[in-house]
Each structure stands twice: as structure tokens, then as C-alpha cells.
Amino acid sequence: MDISALVIRIIFLLLPGAVAANIYWKMKGRATRKDWEDFLEVIVFSLFSYAIYAFIVSFINWKWSAGVEFTAFEAFLDDRIAVRWQDIFFSSVVGVGVALIASYSYQFKIINRFGKLVRATQRFGDEDVWDFVHRSPDVRGGWVIVRDHKLNLYYTCWIQAFSDSGKERELLLREVDVYDDASAEWRYNTPVMYLSRKQDELTIEILSVPQLDQSITGPTEPGPVTQKELTDGKKKQ
């Protein structure tokens, strides 16, 4: 088999992993990574998808003697075996489920929680603290103060959306009151504000911690220190 035919064959066989990996990346967000790491994830997703589909096929054949064929693993190793579109299609369908499970595991830090349970790690995950703060159910959805060191302003608001980790920090703020950072003098308010700053140009102060079962579609009730009390206290200083 020539090189071009081999490459096409590998691309087809890795389609389930490519489908699963892209769904997974869209749900969890894409951090800056090396190409070989992305390719390795595609391979892992492909193997999991094929393995689960192979188990399903084996169960069907054992239970009902259906005679369903599965030759994807053999096709990986032997170019004389044809690549069956049924294996690729149904493994891709399985891959969607694998991506959902992987995203759920990432979102709720299943592996890290287990590692902490057996005292094997103290890490909260692979992402940086920026992602951890915004994704954590313990802190998201509450009232915050965002200090804009570039313009010497601060904003009392709640955060509706945030960017992935990168050079620029992007925030979508809701129900925003804008104050002068030095005098605490109120400037104006706006229902929505988009903010883009470098990493060292923002500070986020969390005023309250919402309950885990509260909705994150809007802000939770402020805690013992409300934004009005905080502002009034600053004006008296």
C-alpha cells in the first residue's frame, strides 16, 4: 500500500475519535495545546469508541446470534482487510456518548476528586485558577467586584460569560455599576458590558458564595456585604 492510501485509511479509521474529540473540546473549551496532544486525544477517543462498539457487537452476537461483524481493529493492523463504513459510523455514534461522559468527568473533576479521596493528589484540575474560579459551582453566579487597573475603575456586577485561558481575559458583565476606583464615586450603570484586558489588568473580588442548587442564569442574592453597603462604606472613608 502506498503512503497516500495509508494516510487516507488512517483518517477514515480515526473519524470516530475526531468526532468525539471535537464535541469534547467544544463542551469543555480549548486551551492552548500542542498538536501532538490533540492528535493523541483523537487516538484515545477512537480506541474507546471502537472498544465500546466492539463490546456492544459481541453482546448482540452472544444474545441473539445476529452475526454482526466488527473488523476495525483488524483493519488498523492489516491493510488487506477492508474498512467497513458500518464500523466507522456506529463507532462515531458511540463516540458522541464517550465525549459527553468525558466532558462530564472534566466538568465535575471526577478523576481529581477520586485522587483527593485516596490522597494521591491535591490538584483541582489541569486548568488554571481563572477557569477554576469561573467554572466552580461554589463561586459562579454571584455578585463580584471587577477592578479595572487599566482605567482605574471598578464594576459591581455578575459575570455571565468568560473567555478560555489565554493572553487576553474577556468577560461579559451584567447589571453593571461603574465606580471610580480611587474615590468610589459612582459614574454610570449599564445592563451589559464586554471587557477585554491583559492578565494583570483585572482583579475579581467575590462578594458572596451562592448555594450549589441555585440557578446560574442570574446573580444570587448578595451575602452579608451587599454592593450598596460596600459602596456606602467606601464613600464614608
Over residues 120-146, the mean pLDDT reads 77
Our CA angle for 138, 179, 140, nearest 5°, is: 10
Pick the most confident of 3-17, 113-127, 149-163: 149-163
**What is the predicted pLDDT for the residue at 72?**
92
Q: Which of 104, 157, 103, 168 is nearest to 130 (CA)?
A: 168
Instruction: Measure the CA–CA gap between 51 and 45, rounded to whole angstroms.
Output: 10
Instruction: Measure the CA–CA gap between 236 and 234, rounded to whole angstroms.
Output: 5
Instruction: Measure the CA–CA gap between 142 and 159, rounded to whole angstroms.
Output: 8
Q: Above 80 in pLDDT, residue 57?
A: yes
Cβ within 8 Å of residue 192, ≥6 positions away: 172, 173, 174, 176
Over residues 152-158, the mean pLDDT reads 95
**What is the predicted pLDDT for the residue at 33?**
72
Dihedral of the alpha carbons of 122, 126, 131, 132, in degrees to the nearest 10: -20
**Domain 140-236 bears CATH identifier 3.20.20.70:** no
Over residues 194-208, the mean pLDDT reads 90
Strands 168-180 and 186-198: antiparallel
% of the chain residues with pLDDT over 70: 81
Over residues 87-113, the mean pLDDT reads 93
Q: Among 36-50, 159-173, 180-194, name the one with the lowest average pLDDT.
A: 159-173
Q: Above 60 in pLDDT, residue 117?
A: yes
Of the pLDDT bands very low, low, confident and very high (cuts 50, 70, 90), residue 123 is: confident
Q: Domain ranges in the chain?
A: 3-112, 140-236
The pTM for the full model equals 0.71
